[in-house]
Structure 1
Amino acid sequence: MQTFLESLTTLSRPMKRAIQITADSAIIILCLLVAMSLRLESLAFMAEPQVWLALLIALPPSVLAFSQLGLYRSVVRFITVQALPAIAVGVLFSAVTLSAAAQLIGAPIPRSVPGIYAVLLFLGISLVRFVMRGFLRQPGQAKRDAVVIYGAGAAGRQLCNALNDGNEYRPVAFVDDDPALQQSLVSGKPVIAPDQLPGLLERTKIAAILLAIPSASRARRREIVTRLEPLGVELKTLPGMADIVSGAAGYSDIRRVRPEDLLGRDPVPPRADLMGRNITGKVVLVSGAGGSIGSELCRQILRHNPRTLVLMELSEIALYTITTELRGLQERTGRSVRIEPVLCSVQNRSRVSATLRAFGVQTIYHAAAYKHVILVEENTVEGVLNNVIGTRVLAQAAAELRVEDFILISTDKAVRPTNVMGASKRMAELVCQALAREGSRTRFSMVRFGNVLGSSGSVIPRFKAQIQHGGPVTVTHKAVTRYFMTIPEAAQLVIQAGAMSQGGDVFVLDMGEPVRILDLAQSMIRLHGLKPYIMDGDTPSEPAQGDIGIRIVGLGKGEKLYEELLIGNVPKGTEHPRIMTATEHALPRHRLDPLLDRLQRACHACDVAAIQQIFLEAPLAYRPARVEPHDLIWNAIRSQPEAAPVPLALPKVSQLT
């Protein structure tokens, strides 16, 4: 049987049409004979030539009508209920033609027979096609993974139809919270309640649960996933409704549930007046344009039609990537924004000034920074040069050239920092505060927030890679917590905060509730359909009762258990519900500049001890986790008795700029 069915699928299209026409012709003849038999309760009519003549007259127009309605162009293996209206129209035309032919030649066909014939023909034509569809699909059904669809609404039904036409998944049931749908059939599949799902999983080997709830809020999705996680089945989801409506994704574009889908909140719709205030019709520059935050800022800025968008980036490949993406986005959306990629370090004073002057920059979003705590801790000199001196160079150039707005992207790690990265970002804030207090025509503001989901250096990509390699997943401490926000929400809030600046503002974004990293690791493992267990060193703390181990490795250099967003002041609300402002301690420029000059000299002398001492003197509330200064190059030089004594002199600043 299987060989016969496979041979049918390999026939040419004309041959398949011929088979369908022959089958439909036989069904038409059979239906008329059955209709006459039911009406007359006898087969005597078969001896009447006029009956056969009427059938002969009605047969070709009926087949032609089915052909014109596209019935023979459709592939039987993929036929759906959408074909039923066409079949109904063809059947009605056939019945009318039969009735007219009978009246024309005076055939002894009772008037009720065409009605009976129509019902039988509709059932026959439809039934044969759907039965054949089932048989033709059957060989591939066994090879597909059985799945359950969570959500029996419109999205779930369309997903089910799409999967039926595919070769990867075989839907076996729906799960829905609506009691009105439970215990019913949707697209031929039973709908069960969520509490019946464990029983179904015990009886049937289910490869995955597919979430078909694209319009559900993030909180609702988080609630559902939390309930499903312990079942030990891989969870996958449809794209969001916005992507489906825009055409960026379809109902068949399923993917694994990501932590980003659950940790982030439902964003507050951005205010158009704030989003466009510093952007629309202006020349906007983004430093660090190829980074996680910088690139998303560029995407958001492009949507609000600046006159020119200047991309300043040190990494060649990052600059090429974001430039190509933005120009492609322009082509698709029909925008006409000038995009100017500038390969430049923010430490290069002459090139920074030339860039601002050449393009007439009006708004700067300063996202260029080294942000990875441990890497900056091990590369103190370069981290401070980029984060502090680079900010000073760009901010002073902005003030000198009367740029209208300068928005510094800061971090929660700048609050009572225990690491060089946090201390350097707090020092960068002091630079902007000092310039703002000096009465500059440039409005300086700073925006502080925590971790963003999916950024470079985030724990989430690292956890994903560790899970894919079979573990273990490494967590620094059982109690460590972090704030998380999606990159698009963070970028939108940064733009809106900058639009509210009066000069010298420190804006703090509402990050929601902190997340325990151990819980995040366990959740990610469960989302892959695996069971986590805690390890003690290189071995499990108890006999392994799971699939992926979680190893507690201890806090890294300069890392905190908990992050803060404020140093000590009570934040004040703004016109945006998720943006607050705070008054933080600042230094006047005449006191800050000597510290910055010393810091710059210490960096170019590779004097890490002096860098740490300056940070301790400055009002940063810096409490280093390590008393001993730390830098890989500094340590390597000091460990060599025959090496030149430190500090090691580097080229002068003038030679570099």
Structure 2
Amino acid sequence: MKQENGKRAMTAGLRRTMVIFVLDMLCIAGSFFLALWMRFEFRLGAIPQMYLNEYLKIIGPWIVICLVVFQLFRLYNSIWSFVSIDELFRIILAYGVLLAAGLAYVLILKIDMPRSFYFAGFIMSFMSTTALRFSYRFMRQLMAGISTEKSERDRILMIGAGEAGRQLIREINSNPRLGSRVVCIIDDNPSKRRRYLDGVEIAGGRQEIPDAVKKYQVNKIIFAIPTCDGQDRKEILDICSKTGCRVQAVPGMFQLVNGEVSVSKLRDVELQDLLGRDPIQVNLEEICRYISGKVVMVTGGGGSIGSELCRQIAKSNPEQLIIFDIYENNAYDIQMELRHTHPELNLEVLIGSVRDMGRLDDVMAKYRPELVFHAAAHKHVPLMEDSPNEAIKNNVFGTYKMAMASVKYGVKKFVLISTDKAVNPTNIMGASKRLCEMVVQMMNRRSPNTDFVAVRFGNVLGSNGSVIPLFKKQIAEGGPVTVTHPEITRFFMTIPEAVSLVLQAGYYAKGGEIFILDMGQPVKIDTMARNLIRLSGHEPDVDIKIVYTGLRPGEKLYEEILMAEEGLQETSNKLIHIGKPIVMDDEEFCHQLDRLEKACEEETEDMKDIVASVVPTYRRKK
């Protein structure tokens, strides 16, 4: 089937080339005959027979010379739908060569024709063969415009009068099947204002977006500035989100470099575009260098963070990747994905709990991992408020047992996934993660051969249980969208950003650090919900209601990143900082852990009070 289609395509291409050959021959012959006819005032009978005979003698060889030169300059290889300045430049070069060839032709054959014949014939030949190539595109655009006006689905405002915008405008306006038309452009460069790009007016800067949407009856906006920094992107998209238009964006700079900017590559604008900062950049070479050739274990490897850890680790050529998770469905999904994307990967997927010391001993003794990324944890704040003993069992003692097994079996680096909720926690989940950080710092002081570190970050966009999937589901169902409090704020990052931070922290780790990401400004959840509603083409509180449900047990309005007494140190990545360890009594902490463990075994009703006595910064809400 593919061979038949290929043969048909080749036949059609050859047929088109032959048509162009014939049309070029007619243009050249007609141009020089018209030049001769013009010389004698468009009276055919006035042309001397000697000139007619000379014309018939020389025109055949001259046509052959022209066609050969055209072929040398690849004038038969262009796609006429997209003929452009490049083709015009090659036509000019071809006629430069033909000018020299024509002079030689006349001198060698001693051709005797009126001088106007040569000059006018050459000019008209150039104009007609050039017009021939551009006429197809012109007619196609004209018909596309007529067709689009009749069946127009989208009237598009393009943001960005650069290369990405130009490529998209050309594709959209020349393809009637898209049913779309770019009707205006927005660009902040004042020198471009009121000028035109591919026939489309540049209407002004970002502040003119609302007026342009009304004036040109726009129903779709395309953000085509792949190099735009985070703050400018946020400001522009904030304006767009208030217009009621659907908003799409080019994916990124590498698509532009690779020539991949096209309508098919556009994506809907996501809330990560509205974070107001540039994506976190990490040193991939450093990450690859310390992971390559190592046996790496990821606990909780099927979760949102754990699975992304596995994806990025798999790209760094580890000797072996061990995924350890209690949830078999999650583990199975990431196993199937990695076997498909990295068939060469030495992958082991194991089911088990970090609370089971026997299972940990068995796994660690058999595989001897050198790097451990500990992502296994209970993380849902309201659920843990109702089951505090489970939060301590899984988070604290799962971490403690995993840390002890790591020391016992010679792990070089142990990286704990922590959270900003561990800072001055007001809920048992945050307090349990603060206890995990204390475990890691104690274990680092007691274990000179293993570097223990923690990585702390905020909420992750799109992770299991985060507000974004919940909001999207509520919007799809027609609302209402539920927000706990109109003033509640959170720090956000994307899953790949969070994971790249974790991996780079592992490289920086010397032991005992708590790594913290500078995540920019906190985001108001109410604003996020309203933007998501608008980006979905609805109006908040009109099409979809927003309902405030009140703060949940253990929830606070504002998350913090650092405890006041920790301070900050910079790393070579300016967005990654190190919090200094808090001084504590390790012996006393061990006794407190024993007390916590006994309380878990007894299923105490007083777990929150016991935790509050161990974690001084735990501000339990009554």
Using the size of structure 1 for normalisation, the TM-score is 0.81
Structure 1 residue 97: Cα displacement: 7.2
Where 2:414 maps in the other structure, the secondary structure is: strand
Deviations 1:484-517 (A, max 9, x none): 1233332233333344444333333333221111
Q: Does residue 1:283 correspond to 2:295, yes or no?
A: yes
Corresponding letter in the other structure for 1:161: R
Q: Does residue 1:554 correspond to 2:558, yes or no?
A: no
- Cα distance change on mapping 1:341 and 1:205 into 2, 3 Å: same
Q: Is the 8 A contact 1:54 1:102 kept in 2?
A: no
Deviations 1:241-263 (A, max 9, x none): 13544688767511121111221
**Separation in 2, partners of 1:274, 1:31:** 66
Q: Report the equivalent of 1:539.
A: none
**Separation in 2, partners of 1:56, 1:512:** 73
Map 1:460-479; keep pairs closer than 5 Å. 460-479=468-487
Q: Is the 8 A contact 1:102 1:108 kept in 2?
A: no
Q: Does residue 1:583 correspond to 2:581, yes or no?
A: yes
**Separation in 1, partners of 2:303, 2:439:** 22
Q: Does residue 1:84 correspond to 2:88, yes or no?
A: yes
- Cα distance change on mapping 1:482 and 1:283 into 2, 3 Å: same
Q: Report the equivalent of 1:55.
A: 59
Corresponding letter in the other structure for 1:221: R
Q: Report the equivalent of 1:189.
A: 200
Corresponding letter in the other structure for 2:222: L
Q: Does residue 1:108 correspond to 2:113, yes or no?
A: yes
Q: Does residue 1:486 correspond to 2:494, yes or no?
A: yes
Q: Report the equivalent of 1:202.
A: 214
**Residue range with higher mean Cα deviation, 427-436 or 272-281:** 272-281
Deviations 1:323-373 (A, max 9, x none): 444455546xxxx66333323322222222222222221221111112121
- Cα distance change on mapping 1:560 and 1:248 into 2, 3 Å: farther
- Cα distance change on mapping 1:273 and 1:149 into 2, 3 Å: closer
**Residue range with higher mean Cα deviation, 168-177 or 232-241:** 168-177
**Separation in 1, partners of 2:40, 2:127:** 16
**Separation in 1, partners of 2:218, 2:361:** 61
Structure 1 residue 612: Cα displacement: 3.2
Which residue among 453, 465, 473 is the counterpart of 2:461? Answer: 453
- Cα distance change on mapping 1:232 and 1:39 into 2, 3 Å: farther
- Cα distance change on mapping 1:599 and 1:275 into 2, 3 Å: same
Q: Does residue 1:177 correspond to 2:197, yes or no?
A: no
Map 1:167-566; keep pairs closer than 5 Å. 167-168=177-178, 169-194=180-205, 195-245=207-257, 252-263=264-275, 265-267=277-279, 269-271=281-283, 275=287, 278-330=290-342, 338-439=346-447, 441-533=449-541, 546-566=542-562
Where 1:407 maps in the other structure, the secondary structure is: strand
Structure 1 residue 481: Cα displacement: 0.7
Corresponding letter in the other structure for 1:469: E
Corresponding letter in the other structure for 2:328: E
Structure 1 residue 319: Cα displacement: 2.6
**Separation in 2, partners of 1:443, 1:493:** 17
**Separation in 2, partners of 1:96, 1:148:** 48
**Residue range with higher mean Cα deviation, 300-309 or 178-187:** 300-309
**Residue range with higher mean Cα deviation, 418-427 or 363-372:** 418-427
**Separation in 1, partners of 2:267, 2:27:** 44
Structure 1 residue 176: Cα displacement: 1.3
Q: Report the equivalent of 2:8.
A: none
**Separation in 2, partners of 1:116, 1:567:** 79
Deviations 1:374-410 (A, max 9, x none): 2333444443332122112211111222322212111
Structure 1 residue 42: Cα displacement: 4.2
**Separation in 2, partners of 1:242, 1:255:** 15
Deviations 1:167-222 (A, max 9, x none): 32322232211122222222222222125444432232222121111012112212
**Separation in 1, partners of 2:110, 2:470:** 82
Structure 1 residue 147: Cα displacement: 1.0
Where 2:183 maps in the other structure, the secondary structure is: strand
**Separation in 2, partners of 1:325, 1:165:** 39
**Separation in 1, partners of 2:331, 2:530:** 36
**Separation in 2, partners of 1:183, 1:46:** 55
**Separation in 1, partners of 2:582, 2:551:** 28
Q: Report the equivalent of 2:159.
A: 150
Structure 1 residue 561: Cα displacement: 1.0
Q: Report the equivalent of 1:648.
A: none
Corresponding letter in the other structure for 2:567: P
Q: Is the 8 A contact 2:323 2:349 kept in 1?
A: yes
Q: Is the 8 A contact 1:238 1:252 kept in 2?
A: no
Where 2:395 maps in the other structure, the secondary structure is: helix
**Residue range with higher mean Cα deviation, 196-205 or 456-465:** 196-205
**Residue range with higher mean Cα deviation, 195-204 or 62-71:** 62-71
Where 2:277 maps in the other structure, the secondary structure is: coil
Q: Report the equivalent of 1:45.
A: 47
Where 1:231 maps in the other structure, the secondary structure is: coil
**Separation in 1, partners of 2:305, 2:404:** 23
Percent of aligned positions that are identical: 35
Residue correspondences, number: 599
**Separation in 1, partners of 2:85, 2:478:** 44
Deviations 1:535-583 (A, max 9, x none): xxxxxxxxxxx33322212122321111122343141313343312133
Q: Does residue 1:121 correspond to 2:128, yes or no?
A: yes
Q: Which runs of 5+ in 2 are unaligned?
A: 1-10
- Cα distance change on mapping 1:264 and 1:343 into 2, 3 Å: farther
Aligned-CA RMSD value: 3.4
**Separation in 1, partners of 2:471, 2:595:** 40
Structure 1 residue 117: Cα displacement: 2.9
Deviations 1:265-310 (A, max 9, x none): 2256434686467534432222122222223333443444433332
**Separation in 1, partners of 2:48, 2:234:** 68
Q: Which runs of 5+ in 1 are unaligned?
A: 1-10, 534-545, 628-657
- Cα distance change on mapping 1:247 and 1:354 into 2, 3 Å: farther
Where 1:452 maps in the other structure, the secondary structure is: strand
Q: Is the 8 A contact 2:392 2:600 kept in 1?
A: yes
**Separation in 1, partners of 2:59, 2:145:** 36
Q: Is the 8 A contact 1:403 1:442 kept in 2?
A: yes
